[in-house]
Structure 1
């Protein structure tokens, strides 16, 4: 049996008729940029998340970049972020001229909030919390720190659509929540797409201006902006999928529960879920001592796999200028050498799940 790491076609086929009807509807409307579909999606996603405002954008990276731009994070400022995140999180900081200040993760792969305060300086302006792999971060201590030091809080929710801390969804704790709707995300479009959520009307209005060439009114440019508009077709697709998101999420939780309960192998460390947090399992990440051997074994047995992420941002060529030496973040670097993601996708059938469990237990 050959199990793909991810199979987006299966998910498309689940709601194929609805997607096809939506694209025809948008094409027949004659309006393709910043129209009714985008506005309706913004309203519906804000309601789903529990925020006052949502602004649709062209990608998750744009959401991060525009969020920090709207908060006036700039050259000379510092933003605290976990060291084991995907590099796009860090790019959102540095593309505004600010400096990322890294903090080690905890055993849940999210930021170790006990290590944040020691990194705060008079240049610190914000904390970027990344709800990595689909698990909500424990926000209690982080909110206290932000209040104590008067810091902005930005959430990277690219992998955590629908995840909650103490019953409240990610994307509602900070000044801005940043979402990606890349096709492989739990709420994925059929191309690049993103959004921000916020309870601050001024921030929402600023990002609406920034996404459209810095223009609030056509040809009246208030600032130097971007071209980062969520298009009508992608917004329409997202509206279809949003209606089914809770069901899709339950399916992933079911697969993850089977993995957690039935993968029994002393060579494999299963993911943990933190107290008061929920996971929507964008990724199911194992920790393995000899990853190369395990990957070779999975490939031989045709079980798809992927490493998220083999090179931590601080060791990437892109951030070589920061001068951070190897060994500076030992737990981050250990995770980079040991974590491996196994198949978890909507439409995965019982036989496929059984096979993945069987193969891993035999390792």
Structure 2
């Protein structure tokens, strides 16, 4: 019997917890507490505690978080920032709008920034490395830190897809001078609109983030610098604070789904799967996405669609350097090849075991027909 499994079920963000969420929403609205109120302060404190950072600041969205983190860390016009081309355009755009130059490099077999490619891209103008912790996995941060130390570079993390992910026990977003998260609804911790956060352990950076997100105002209300209007609104903060209470359980559910995918698909030799949970003691993955590779990617996508299964090829099937209008003059053959093969299967907590089995069965059926 055919099922319908969307790539992401947005209604499921709310309806299963409607009875618990409505009092949270009503409480904020009845108090008229919409901007920079106690709900935001509580969420920031709880988020900082969760990831092990000294400071956390809620901002309007993940892109603003990146721009603010870069500017707070002192990135300026003339600087170069190294980042992977396998990322959402927002990562490179943030570097651009901070006034610096994005330098795009290869990803590795794990789909994350390749340290050897980073090393080869360092110039006299390089000021920072921006690893992108994609799909709920943290990059090989030891290797990146070694490069940063050797060349006196900052690390500023784009951990939009990796809240709760760890490398050697340390949370994504906490390795460099600053890290950022996105709370877009489909993220592993999502709100009911746009939202983001910047975390840091550095006092001076924290002060700059605080000023930059709120018009350059200090605690006395005096304008002491040029700033932006990028505050996480209180309603979203209250929702996120509520969801953060059960976030570890949500992550474990994603890891259970990943285990089921791995058990169901690992025998198909043509597929490249994400590492299974607990397969590498250095990595704790939260599976924001489940991105596979197939040499029959397009045909597989069409087959799954006919079986009612939604899939996505990330970012319109292009790495950042492949958008011609941006005029990047760089060849990244590994990344380009990967974009001919990559496909994301449904991965969210609304999926049942039966849904995953149905998806795996459909993929097996495709390969029986394809061979």
User: How would you bin the TM-score normalised by the shorter chain?
Assistant: over 0.9
What are the superposed Cα offsets for residues 21-71 of structure 1, whole Å, 9 maximum, x if unpaired? 100110111221011011110000000000000011000000000111112
| Residues 83 and 312 in structure 1, CA contact (< 8 A), matched pair in contact too | yes
CA distance in 2 between partners of 1:290 and 1:89 (Å): 29
The corresponding residue for 2:79 is 77
**Cross-structure match for 1:323:** 329
1:275-321 superposed Cα distances (whole Å, 9 cap, x missing partner):
6112111000111113221111111111110011311111214421x
CA contact (8 A) 2:264 2:357 kept: no
Would you say the 8 A contact 1:138–1:277 is kept in 2?
A: no
Query: Residue in 1 aligned with 2:353?
Result: 350
Shift in Å at residue 272 of structure 1? 2.9
DSSP-derived class of the 1:142 partner: helix
- Determine whether 1:179 maps to 2:185: no
Unaligned 5+ segments in structure 1 are none
Task: Provide the secondary structure at the position in 2 that maps to 1:337.
Answer: coil
CA distance in 2, matches of 1:106, 1:267: 18
1:265–1:360 CA contact under 8 A, matched in 2: no
- Structure 2 unmatched runs, 5+: 367-371
Q: Which residue of 2 aligns with 1:299?
A: 305
Which SS does the other structure have where 1:15 is aligned? Answer: helix
Q: Aligned-pair RMSD on alpha carbons?
A: 1.4
- Which residue does 1:278 correspond to in 2? 284
Secondary structure in 2 matching 1:346: coil
| Correspondence for 2:60 | 58
Q: 1:229 aligns with which of 231, 234, 244?
A: 231
Distance across 2 between alignment mates of 1:261 and 1:49: 30
Question: Is residue 176 of structure 2 the alignment partner of residue 169 of structure 1?
Answer: no
Per-residue displacement from partner, 1:112-154 (whole Å, max 9, x unpaired)?
1122222111100000011111111121111121122111101
Separation in structure 2 between the aligned mates of residue 338 and residue 223 of structure 1, nearest angstrom? 47
Normalising by the residue count of structure 2, what TM-score does the alignment of the two structures yield?
0.94
Native 8 Å contact 2:138 2:166 kept in 1? yes
SS in 2 for 1:88: helix
Tell whether the 8 Å contact from 2:73 to 2:178 is kept in structure 1 after alignment. Answer: no
Q: Residue in 1 aligned with 2:344?
A: 341
**Alignment equivalent of 1:33, drawn from 32, 35, 40:** 35
Q: Please say which of residues 36-45 and 349-358 is displaced more in the overlay.
A: 349-358
CA spacing shift, 1:272–1:350, aligned 2, 3 Å: closer
TM-score normalised by the chain length of structure 1: 0.96
User: Aligned pairs, how many?
Assistant: 359
Residue equivalent to 2:321: 314
1:188 to 182, 187, 190: 190
